[in-house]
């Protein structure tokens, strides 16, 4: 069974703070790691898909790193804004295709206070 764990469960920061959270996943037979942002009353939206050890992806103020050997990924948000408030989900799957079943972590709920 593939377990994906995220920490912390929730996080409160002030506007302008930088923050980061962790996703850990089993490293055996790893294929890909996804990050999604899920705002209240909306659908989850894809942030990153990462496959290679040492991968680093960036989208605006948000970036992510991947360590497949030890089975973790970090998501960083630089200069948090209230609109960054959301639940951040990571998901992993093992296997040989890019259309596999994703196993999700329980998410990190980020609240950015103005």
Partner 1 sequence: GAVVSQHPSWVICKSGTSVKIECRSLDFQATTMFWYRQFPKQSLMLMATSNEGSKATYEQGVEKDKFLINHASLTLSTLTVTSAHPEDSSFYICSAYRQERLTGANVLTFGAGSRLTVL
Q: Which residues bind partner 1 (CB under 8 A)?
A: 4, 34, 36, 41-46, 49, 89, 91, 98-99, 101-107
Nearest partner of 72 among 30, 18, 37, judged by Cα: 30
Nearest partner of 67 among 77, 55, 57, judged by Cα: 55
Instruction: Give the nearer residue to partner 1 in terms of CB position, either 59 or 113.
Output: 59
Minimum Å distance from CB 67 to partner 1? 19
Minimum Å distance from CB 16 to partner 1? 28
Instruction: Give the nearer residue to partner 1 in terms of CB position, either 2 or 13.
Output: 2
90 burial level (CB within 10 Å; 0-12, 13-18, 19+): buried
Q: 102 phi and psi, to 5 degrees?
A: -90, 140
Minimum Å distance from CB 10 to partner 1? 10
Instruction: Give the nearer residue to partner 1 in terms of CB position, either 29 or 98.
Output: 98
């Amino acid at each position: 069974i593939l377990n994906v764990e995220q920490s912390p469960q929730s996080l409160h920061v002030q506007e302008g703070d930088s923050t980061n959270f962790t996703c850990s996943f089993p490293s055996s037979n790893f294929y890909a790691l996804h990050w999604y942002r899920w705002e209240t009353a909306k659908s989850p939206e894809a942030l990153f898909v990462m496959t290679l050890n040492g991968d680093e992806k960036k989208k605006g103020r948000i970036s992510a790193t991947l360590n497949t050997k030890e089975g973790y990924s970090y998501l960083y948000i630089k200069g948090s804004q209230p609109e960054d408030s959301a639940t951040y989900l990571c998901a992993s799957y093992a296997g040989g295709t890019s259309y596999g079943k994703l196993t999700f972590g329980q998410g990190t709920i980020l609240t950015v206070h103005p």
